[in-house]
A and B are shown apart, each in its own frame.
Chain A
């Protein structure tokens, strides 16, 4: 009897573990199957076509891809230096009394759902962008800024963790040779924690590119490639969030599924690079 339970339990656990793999394979398959219409209709032009006109049954993903790339790039450009600054502050500069409360509040803020960041962006940041840069305030720029603020706590916390892996004794050795704090940070801590820091940035990039709610509020969902950052724009997740419930033809649906598939493949690749190339090397070191 107990041997039977033993066997059943071990099979049950193994079954669920394998089911997780099958589930992921299933997700890819379903997204692909549903994309077939669009893939057959547009081929590779789907990714390079600039026109997204549901009424004409014409779907080109380039404006959404462009928006995803530019808003994520903006977010990274703004968040990376701030995250490094916050991480240096938390790991090397802050007095012991501040380290823990500030560190914990940063981690807690990383747990706040992105929909809240989006809502804050809409009500408090859109007017500021409108006043300073002109336009209607709903724009690529606003999306980039809100996205950067949303990924900042995550990035800062992970960068700090990576920097904290540097052994004290290594830092002390550099101080013992007459190094300043900055000397120790740039010559010892950053080289030592390099893989972890880069890994966490790429992971943040992977998350930012798939982020929906923080940007949906403030981007405008306009399928147009504009080099003016104060113009409304769209991104892949923003398009999905706005149009999935509106799609009324099978080609429209299929195009949205192809966008989903494309987004999943891109995120999967970026996150894999972060996790397996950089963060695993860090673990091995």
Chain B
């Protein structure tokens, strides 16, 4: 066998292994997705959206409390986290630029984006839950805000930097102030990108469970008072799935399905925004 023949055989073996690992990897992932969809659709019903939690074995139980709690916790985190993140990102791109301060903020945010979220839960427990004496929706929102902040900050920074500097210069040449240039020209130019960043940021925190375990904790019933413990889809899912009761487990799958579809939709919409922008 010549050397070249050996090379060709090695090549073929490696290519088969690569295709095989792709099949294994993708197989696993579709297995998870399949399980999610099958169990989720099986568990879905109207009562899920209209009923609150109930003891196991109780017919009329649903996820209304968790859906609304999730909406409150993630909604408030978004309302607080997004403007703060955009402001900080604006500083990095428009004011700080390559300064030492800006670079440090970038680096630290990069690290925080991958840091363990459960640690943020511990931090919020210490500064909010312990002084208040009890778990609360606010504590959950604060934890998610902290997790969301670096994500929004970095995407805003990146997206604003993509706006061509000639656009800024043209506006300055017309005598516009920096504030006007940023809010009227730069933000407009980076709109699609920032929006995508926001969607992905929301998607990311919506799936967080660990930092909520000991901040917003859980509540089996509907509660709209943020200063009280509050249910979320993720923690409810965790509690129900690890319970021994079949009907609770079923509700867990429904929660998993709803949450995943929500997160996947946000991701897909975000991508479409970016694609549309690229297409222009």
| Chain A residues engaging chain B, CB cutoff 8 angstroms | 2-3, 5-6, 9-10, 12-14, 16-21, 23-24, 26-27, 30-31, 33-34, 81-86, 88-90, 93-94, 102, 104-106, 108-109, 111-120, 122-124, 149, 152-153, 156, 178, 180-183, 185, 203, 206-207, 209-213, 216-217, 237, 240-241, 244-245, 256-257, 260, 263-264, 267-268, 271-272, 275-276
Contacts and interface: CB of A to CB of B under 8 A. Distances in A.
A210 B146 CA distance: 17
Give the interface SS of chain B, mostly helix, strand, loop or mixed. Answer: helix
B116 A263 contact: yes
Contacts of B179: 2, 5-6, 9-10
Contacts, number: 264
A153 B210 CA distance: 21
A17 B119 contact: no
Interface in B67-123: 84, 87-88, 90-92, 94-96, 101-102, 104-105, 107-112, 114-123
Contact of A14 (B33, B96, B178, B237): B96
B32 A117 contact: yes
Interface in B224-276: 234, 237-238, 241-242, 249, 252-253, 256, 259-260, 263-264, 267-268, 271
A9 B238 CA distance: 43
Contacts of A115: 207, 209, 234, 237-238, 256
Contact of B260 (A18, A105, A116, A153): A116
Contacts of B115: 210, 264, 267-268, 271
Given A6-B178, A31-B123, A180-B11, A113 B21 contact: no
A271 to B, nearest CB: 5
A85 B256 contact: no
Interface centre among B4, B35, B206 (most CB of A within 10 A): B35
Contact of B25 (A33, A156, A260): A156
Contacts of B253: 119
B167 interface: no
Contacts of A17: 87-88, 91-92, 96, 101-102, 105, 153
B177 A12 contact: no
Most buried by A among B31, B125, B153, B249: B125
Nearest to A2: B177
Contacts of A256: 122
Contacts of A23: 146, 149
A20 B19 contact: no
Interface string B1-22: 0001001101100110111111
A203 B109 CA distance: 14
Given A119-B237, A119-B252, A213 B91 contact: no
Contact of A82 (B21, B95, B111): B21
Nearest to A244: B214
B126 interface: yes
Among A31, A83, A89, A119, max chain B CB count under 10 A is at A119
A24 B110 CA distance: 12
Contacts of B138: none
Given A31-B122, A85-B18, A108-B267, A16 B84 contact: yes
Contacts of A16: 84, 87-88, 91
A217 B15 contact: no
